[in-house]
Amino acid sequence: MAELSDSGGEEAWQDEEGLAQLCSDPEPETPCLFCERLFSSAEDTFSHCKSVHQFNISNTIHKHALEFYGYIKLINFVRKKKPTAEYLNSLSSPLPWEEEEYLKPELEDDLLLQFDIEDLHDSTNISYPNGLSDNTAILEQLKCAERRAELAETALARAQEDLQKMRQFAQDFVMNADVRSSSSSSSAIVDLQEDEDGVYFSSYGHYGIHEEMLKDKVRTESYRDFIYKNSHIFKGKVVLDVGCGTGILSMFAAKAGAKKVIGVDQSEIVYQAMDIIRLNNLEDTITLVKGRIEEVDLPVEKVDIIISEWMGYFLLFESMLDSVIYAKDKYLAEGGSVYPDICTISLVAIGDKNKHADRLAFWDNVYGFNMSCMKKAVIPEAVVEVVDPSTLISEANVIKRIDCHTTSIPDLEFSSDFTLIVTENTVCTAVAGYFDVFFERNCHNSVKP
Active site residues: 309, 318
8 Å CB contact between 341 and 440 = yes
In 3D, which of 172, 205, 215, 206 has the Cα closest to residue 190? Answer: 172
**Cα 159 to Cα 146: distance, rounded to the nearest angstrom:** 20
Q: Which of 347, 284, 283, 288 is nearest to 314 (CA)?
A: 347
Cα distance between residue 405 and residue 403, in whole Å: 5
Strand, helix or coil for residue 439: strand
Distance CA 265, CA 288 (A): 8
Q: How far is CA 147 from the centre of its chain?
A: 29
C-alpha to C-alpha distance for 431 and 165, rounded to whole angstroms: 44
d(CA 281, CA 271): 16
Question: Within a 10 A sphere around the Cβ of 81, how many other Cβ atoms?
Answer: 18
Q: Does residue 309 sit in helix, strand or coil?
A: coil
Rounded Cα gap, residues 399 and 316, in angstroms: 13
Angle at alpha carbon of residue 400, lines to 344 and 313, rounded to 5°: 60
Output the CA torsion 152→153→154→155 (10° steps): 50
C-beta of residue 417 within 8 angstroms of C-beta of residue 347: no
Determine the straight-line distance between the first and last CA of the chain, rounded to whole angstroms.
Answer: 73
